Structure 1
């Protein structure tokens, strides 16, 4: 069952017509959220990121869309699907009508809940996707439904027996992986692409940065990273709200350790 504006509908039922703006213009945002033992993880972070993104896209935020409402609608959807642990996609899109200029800035929302399947792979291969680039602008930091570069990179990864790909920006610097932010470790220094490089402002990225900042053993740098630097790294890992931390073991001809990555994963588990 899916939750469409507070009403539960069979997921096989058709919902939208040809005027849907998410379909026609990608005029939509989404949050991917992890629910564990009927608890919404990092609830406030997801909520406030969504609110900030909606303001940036000039969507009208309903007075009813409070933090409590956000949490309750998610948990109601999880319960309706008879789940305890779930992967949630909370989508928000502008209501139908208009061409590029919308008829209204009012929004609809759609909540999908699926069984949570997490598998951290022991061998994880990575390479560069170079056919198309992500623009290093502020809009790229939002989780909009404009993800065609990620789709094409996923097809490339599948065709080349890769687990993931590194996406680059127009300056040919590292931005992120297909499905998460990327961190690179050099001894006791940990680097991640700055938001100005065009990476998504990930919730797990934020949590990892906080973990590292609280630890005097490591220094953190949000900066530009070249693809060549990946080959010289000691460790590389990918983060997102569902998997937490996924260690990378192979990139081109380079092989990586996972010692510090595994330590950070344990600390992250202690947060939830």
Structure 2
């Protein structure tokens, strides 16, 4: 709930969820409900606690941190119909159950599906990793929906998460894969730092070797999509038919060790 969070040891309030987002998340039945067998996560243009919009966010972890559903590796699949329009930022994603390697993004983030609201023909799949903010890394893959399609139609979005590789699928067809990332727990003055030597890295395939939980939401505004305009339609509903998570019958092989070479992403001493 709300429009931000307390961060760091000093519990500094970060408004707009760190992205200058404009919505206030609620538990109100006007923002989240089930109708015609689908979950509706609805963004509304209405004022609440100084915010111009309300919306909802669903996650499989309680506010006190207790897990409702967490999973390490597997296929995470969503059948959804996604709202679009300038300033809308719907997403289906995964976050670490514990900050085992450090605060975001040292412990990782997997974005199964998100869109830039004014481009409903394009699906984004991303991972966040690296050191704690601000020294985090982001890799984003882009998929154009074939045959003039749109996220406004029903589609199945999925990731297959293996030790050492993450694959993105759209309607059962793999469209991207990622098999490089890194994680560093080192901090300086309470913030993440760029690693300067292999010894500062957490063992591969960290951070994507720990349980994650599921998040579904519709954000409004912010640094990524910008603000809505007069053509943006409200209410804006993310409809979810199902969320399914599968395990691999044959289990998962241990990932092969990776060399880090000359650390081209490291800053010079």
Which TM-score bucket, shorter chain as reference?
under 0.3
Taking structure 2 as the reference length, what is the TM-score of the superposition?
Answer: 0.28
Q: Larger relative CO (CA 8 A, sep 6+): 1 or 2? A: 2
Q: Which has the higher strand share?
A: 2
Normalized against structure 1, the TM-score is what?
Answer: 0.27
